[in-house]
Chains A and B, each alone.
Chain A
């Protein structure tokens, strides 16, 4: 779908959200609702940053404040060197791709895309020129005279993106742009979006609640919950070095196991879990003290069936998923979820069967025990 020559000039700029707070009054006016709670976020020029979190955590609100559709209760927004906190939305040069696409139903594809240029008094010849360039970039030539209602979902999505980039915006915003597409098309469009964004080098903020989507396209993933940022990192660190239980649990599946620290040396901790000792790399997310409690994050794929495994368990549930089998296994008092990708070798186990498990200790990461977290009010 992408053409060879980049037809669009871009002005890559940094974006900085400082101390951003958004309070909505509740209906009865009794209590205020903190939709976005003191967010700090830097987006480097040309980067694509994803806001990821459960529904209602304040992603859209954050995005809309950047677009200017909501005024922050306090805090500031900088685009490049400009403080745009109180600039009206039509003066920000920030383009948004809406979840519902929001194509103008009474205008043709061409007119939809040209709209932003005409509004900004671009000379007529240039309007036609630039619109056609974007139309060919997005492979929309044959649809240019159609009305939005005569397009499929994927085509509408491309028009929405074309309309956003044609004005050469400083920042591109996406609010769950793929959620109205079916699974196959979603993957395809996801990759196309990323390619175009990288080619044009437009600083972008992308909202989604789909963790795979976030992992696949982002330079940086920002996990939000209850209006607060839980962690902002590259996808690899988010997955392998989660800041807290929420992040670990939201990004894929996680088994949290309570452990007791036995010894710490050479960046390695010796930890007792489930009556066995394991050796885990130390991180800066938790202070370890000898005989103190700690939580170990073990992903389902960290466990494997093995005759030499230290852990003895009993299978309590079997879910066959084609390329792998998911087992729930009771290990002493705890129950974990694990995945077996080599079931053709091991055979599919039955409920009640006793098995031996090996844990890939080098993958395990450590967190402070959950109780402490709750006390601090961070989760």
Chain B
């Protein structure tokens, strides 16, 4: 179309560069905006990019500061390392497959059928997401371990081997299938119901519709679920630490090398080995598969979906979901019970001793976790919303870089961040190790992507002309953000707050490197209780943690609703 116009002869055509320059000039007229952009860039560089760079650097630079590849060569030829690497990948692949299958069946049943008890299944599936992952490992020990009620109590085995790959796959599947479930639920809901209706209308059977329409349309969602569960399973630290036994994984080895052998370089190397597959998987998931997605958000409300009601379809799905839900409930019920019995498997009388013990042993770590998570949560959510706003609505140089680097600390395994932080912040001027600040910063930058994703998704659904209308009436970018965009992102803000709080409270892989005598955290305490075999106390701590999370979610929901309704009064 462009060349049907006659080219203006009198005008000098702008180059790309001068276009950018003009944008910068506009930015300078909004000094707040410019300042915020600069601050965000600097902090992303210092707290995300730099620490990760440090981890890479130490693996190739020796103590004298010279380039030294011997570590890499040595480790790569050691069969122990190769075995560990393979173990992690094997664990990731198996968990990803099982977790995605379960997640898909759950999602299909919930979105496409009239199955009874959907709400309940949905709720139970969220339990593993809001609790620390190693709760499941703890529960498995309680059930199947030396004094396990099933292994020992029911069958009378003296020593059933609960440690190893099989248990680990079981645990990771149960712990991370909800991620696949939520992801696929979103995908299946977003498929326009009229597409499936059209197939039915053309005479396809339910099975045909599923096989030829629903499943192919869900393929990108399935692939991204596989990758997400894979990442989660290989980077998880808590479960393998508790239950892997002889089955070594990268995340655990990185930790043991550093805390057991005091070998920072070897530990870093294991961390880098962990980082490469998970980062690759993350970016494939993010950029390649998401592009392929068929699902489009039209913004138009589509008509209600006709739900499947045939018995021969619904009943098997119901039984399947029931079994999985039963397993989840058994897991959490066991921990709950374990928190209230005297000596697990030996003396099953009910008691509050475990809770008393946690209070005498120290409630500090509970308070610390709560305080630091509570401090980092609002920072994470607000910062996430601001970055989302900048990325979606503003033009500036380096936008792509901001987007990518804000994702980095999230996509990278916690182990890498933990090691990176101790390497990067152990001397002046950024001497942060041992402080509470380093934990808050770690929480914030680990979780910021959550806030950004929530914000960008909701902003994409807000018609940009609503914000333009505000600007048009004389509001600055800052005022528009505060008065128009932020209130409209309310529900995203809520989920950002909840999710980053939960992630902070339950995280372990990064913070285990960063805690100190003064600032110990709840998850770390639980882990050490498990290692000391005081399972009752560990169970009690887990229950306390889950209860705190539930209370805070409730409070946040109330608070966000209150905030939005209190403005309804002015000027009547």
Contact = CB atoms under 8 A, between A and B. Distances in A.
B374 interface: no
B468 A116 contact: no
Nearest to B475: A119
A90 B472 contact: yes
Interface string B449-489: 00000000000000101101111111110010001100110
Looking at B3, B465, B479, the one whose CB has the most chain A CB atoms below 10 A away is B465
Interface string B18-34: 01001001100110000
A119 B469 contact: no
Given A21-B8, A100-B463, A226-B4, A91 B16 contact: no
B1 A90 contact: no
A120 B470 CA distance: 11
A226 B1 CA distance: 8
A167 interface: yes
A153 B476 CA distance: 29
Interface stretch (A107-115, A199-207, A238-246): A107-115
Nearest to B467: A102
A301 to B, nearest CB: 32
Given A106-B488, A106-B564, A163 B11 contact: no
B479 A119 contact: yes
A86 B23 CA distance: 11
Contact of B26 (A33, A56, A71, A93): A71
A91 B474 contact: yes
A74 B11 contact: yes
A171 to B, nearest CB: 11
Contacts of B25: 86
A96 interface: yes
Contacts of A71: 22, 26
Nearest to A117: B473
Interface string A159-195: 0000100010000000000000000000000000000
A31 interface: yes
A75 B3 CA distance: 21
Interface string A72-100: 01110000000000101111011110111
B14 A115 contact: no
Nearest to A376: B6
A15 B49 CA distance: 50
A250 B558 CA distance: 58
Interface in A8-67: 19, 21, 23, 25-26, 29, 31-34, 37-38, 56, 67
A347 interface: no
Contacts of B30: 88
Given A31-B3, A71-B26, A74-B12, A115 B472 contact: no
Contacts of A111: 570-571
B2 A33 contact: yes
A97 B25 CA distance: 27
B473 A102 contact: no
B572 interface: yes
Nearest to A37: B5
A7 to B, nearest CB: 18
B11 A119 contact: no
B13 interface: yes
A64 to B, nearest CB: 9
Nearest to B22: A71
A100 B572 CA distance: 27
Contact of A96 (B22, B469, B483): B469
Given A38-B8, A96-B472, A110 B16 contact: no
Nearest to A75: B11
A89 B471 contact: yes
A148 to B, nearest CB: 10
Contact of A31 (B2, B22, B472): B2
Contacts of B3: 31
Nearest to B477: A90
A377 B3 CA distance: 11
A26 B2 CA distance: 9
Contacts of B8: 21, 34, 37-38
Contact of B476 (A23, A86, A90, A131): A90
Contacts of A106: 487-488, 490, 564
Contact of A98 (B16, B22, B468, B484): B468
A32 B468 contact: no
A61 to B, nearest CB: 14
Given A23-B13, A71-B26, A89 B5 contact: no
Contacts of A91: 474
Contact of A110 (B2, B6, B479, B571): B571
B564 A74 contact: no
A126 interface: no
A56 B5 CA distance: 13
B2 A32 contact: yes
A34 B5 contact: yes
A14 to B, nearest CB: 20
A97 to B, nearest CB: 9
A145 interface: yes
Contacts of B16: 25, 29
A227 B473 contact: no
B26 A167 contact: no
B468 A38 contact: no
A69 interface: yes
B550 to A, nearest CB: 29
Contacts of B472: 67, 69, 89-90, 94-96
B102 to A, nearest CB: 38
A23 B473 contact: no
B116 to A, nearest CB: 34
A103 B476 contact: no
A9 B468 CA distance: 24
Contacts of B19: 25
A56 to B, nearest CB: 8
B13 A32 contact: yes
Contacts of B11: 19, 21, 38, 73-75
Contacts of B2: 26, 31-34
B346 to A, nearest CB: 59
Interface in B93-145: none
Nearest to A94: B472
A105 interface: yes
A23 B7 CA distance: 11
Interface in A112-140: 114-116, 119-120, 127-128, 131
22 contacts: A38-B11, A71-B22, A71-B26, A74-B14, A75-B11, A89-B468, A89-B471, A90-B475, A90-B476, A93-B474, A102-B468, A105-B466, A105-B488, A106-B490, A115-B475, A115-B483, A116-B473, A119-B483, A120-B473, A127-B571, A128-B571, A131-B571
Given A90-B475, A106-B488, 19 more contacts: A33-B1, A38-B10, A38-B11, A69-B468, A69-B471, A73-B11, A73-B14, A74-B11, A75-B11, A96-B469, A100-B465, A111-B570, A119-B470, A119-B473, A127-B571, A167-B473, A167-B474, A226-B4, A377-B6
Interface of A: 19, 21, 23, 25-26, 29, 31-34, 37-38, 56, 67, 69, 71, 73-75, 86, 88-91, 93-96, 98-100, 102-106, 108, 110-111, 114-116, 119-120, 127-128, 131, 145, 163, 167, 226-228, 377
Q: Which 9 A-B pairs give the minimum distances between C-beta atoms? A: A116-B473, A102-B465, A102-B469, A102-B466, A33-B2, A34-B5, A119-B475, A98-B465, A96-B472
